[in-house]
Amino acid sequence: MFITFEGIEGTGKSTQIALLQQHLESQGHKVRVTLEPGGSRIGAELRRVLLSLENRDLTPQAELFLYLADRAQHVAQVVRPAIAAGAVVLSDRFADSTVAYQGYGRGMDPELLHRLNAVAVDGLWPDLTLLLDLDPVIGLERAMSRNSREGKTNAEGRFEAESIAFHTRVRQGFLDLAARSPERISIVDATGAPEDIALRVRALVEAKLHA
């Protein structure tokens, strides 16, 4: 089973993944948590290049290919082997982020991005995608205070430095994707207490596990 979490910055994806991991493990499932960019060894190097504020001169095309390279490596070395070993794989971001950020955010053609994603994922699409949906004004505020708390502003701040208009387009991209693939992508309201959101996430995951 392959489950991905998507959404703009600051929607609480990593908190929800940790809560779901605990829950699934308590039910006896083997769980593998991973992320994009950075889930593989080579991906961790790509993540540094992709997110550092030093790299403001990265072109949109180069950025796209680095995300796709990260994904190809991640699928081959981490996601596919973990699924084969019987784990439930939980990934913080996956292919939908490319359509939302590079497509709706940066203005590249979403159909072309879908085809490039198909090369990178090599047939391995998620069984379920949870789209944590939140107003970008709230999300960005949360993400920026987290980065400054963790001292990550320079290392990981390249997208947080984008405008609210950019993140509003990205959010719309995710919502459009969900409307086009309702059988795979479920929208989860990301406002409110983490424990309440976790209950919504759990219900969707259990429905899929027992389908």
Q: Give me the residues that bind ligand TMP (CB under 6 A), please.
A: 9, 35-37, 67, 92-93, 97-98, 101-102, 159
The DSSP annotation for 136-189 comes to HHHHHHHHHHHHHHTT-HHHH-TTTTS-HHHHHHHHHHHHHHHHH-TTTEEEEE
Which residue, 155 or 209, has its beta carbon nearer to ligand TMP?
155
- Closest separation in Å from C-beta 210 to ligand TMP: 29
- Closest separation in Å from C-beta 195 to ligand TMP: 22
Strand partners, 195: none
Which residue, 2 or 159, has its beta carbon nearer to ligand TMP?
159
- Closest separation in Å from C-beta 98 to ligand TMP: 4
- Closest separation in Å from C-beta 174 to ligand TMP: 11
Judged by phi (left if over 0) then psi (alpha if -120 to 50, else beta), residue 52 lies in: beta
Which residue, 92 or 133, has its beta carbon nearer to ligand TMP?
92
Q: How far is CA 84 from CA 62, 75, 89, 126, in A?
A: 32, 12, 10, 14
Which residue, 34 or 186, has its beta carbon nearer to ligand TMP?
34
Alpha helices in 27-135 (DSSP H): 41-51, 60-74, 80-84, 95-97, 110-121
- Closest separation in Å from C-beta 27 to ligand TMP: 27
Q: How far apart are CA 35 and CA 91, in angstroms?
A: 5
Which residue, 149 or 210, has its beta carbon nearer to ligand TMP?
149
